Amino acid sequence: MNKKEKAQLIISILDKFYKKTPVPLKHSSPYTLLVAVLLSAQCTDERVNKVTPVLFKKADNPKDMMGLSYDDVYSIIKPCGLGPKKARAIISLSKTLTEDYNMRVPKDLALLEKLPGVGHKTASVVVSQAFNIPAFPVDTHIHRLAQRWGLTSGKNVKQTENDLKNIFNEELWNKLHLQIIFWGRDFCNARSCWGLECEICKSCNPNRKRKFIHKKP
């Protein structure tokens, strides 16, 4: 089975389980989504969704956020981990958005990546989920799943992202990104499936007998 054939199989399975793909992070605007995605680094969406209502009650726009003190922001977001770094980034990017972008989050991926604390994956999530611009954000879990399914031999998330974009049609990227996240959480967990248990792993690689060894990102 080649990669294109595997891709069609994966799409059919994911569409069967996830007809709708709600954005996991609670938000009310591109700005609140940007902050929530930034907070989700090395943190669960569930925890972020408990923290952001408290934060956004104090400030849900760049101008109000830059008016908060570091201690105000840090005390709220501390449960998300990496609190000092994230607090500084949130205040700094809010200042940049207020002073340089009229408080609007840019739709351009390159401009987003220039904001403090915003990397390629975060920027990709924002353009896809806030603006419906095709992107394929790849985190370490999606990187592992793509390897397990035989879609990439990429040694890093950037190479895996490029491989997935070449395999799947652009109009599917935004939905697929979320579907793969949901599948990974529900059926192909990093500590359980190992390429042997879930329907996609077994369908894509029916002759696999041993645990799949990932290439570290």
Active-site annotation holder among 86, 121, 163, 175: 121
Q: Looking at residues 11-37, what average pLDDT do you find?
A: 97
Question: What is d(CA 18, CA 179) in angstroms, rounded to the nearest whole number?
Answer: 6
170-200 per-position pLDDT tens digit: 999 999 999 999 999 999 997 789 999 999 9
- Reported in sequence order, the residue ranges of 36-152 that DSSP labels E, i.e. its strands, are none
24-36 per-position pLDDT tens digit: 999 999 999 999 9
Token pair 């998300």 is found at: 80
Q: Is 121 a catalytic residue?
A: yes
Residue 154's pLDDT band (cuts 50, 70, 90): confident
64-120 per-position pLDDT tens digit: 999 999 999 999 999 999 999 999 999 999 999 999 999 999 999 999 999 999 999
Domain positions in the chain = 3-21+136-204, 30-131
Residue 201's pLDDT band (cuts 50, 70, 90): very high
Confidence check: pLDDT of 217 > 90: no
Burial of 207 (0-12, 13-18, 19+ CB in 10 A): exposed
The domain 30-131 having CATH identifier 3.40.190.10: the answer here is no
Residue 169's pLDDT band (cuts 50, 70, 90): very high
Active-site annotation holder among 16, 60, 107, 139: 139
Picking from 145, 120, 113, the residue whose alpha carbon sits closest to that of residue 13 is 145
Q: What percent of the chain has pLDDT over 70?
A: 100
Q: What pLDDT does 190 receive?
A: 73
Burial of 89 (0-12, 13-18, 19+ CB in 10 A): buried
Q: What percent of the chain has pLDDT over 90?
A: 94
DSSP state of 18: -
Provide the CA 1 distance to its chain's centre, in angstroms: 28
Confidence check: pLDDT of 140 > 70: yes
Residue 53's pLDDT band (cuts 50, 70, 90): very high
CATH architecture of 3-21+136-204: Orthogonal Bundle (1.10)
Average pLDDT, the chain: 96
Q: Looking at residues 163-172, what average pLDDT do you find?
A: 98
Question: What is d(CA 212, CA 66) in angstroms, rounded to the nearest whole number?
Answer: 46
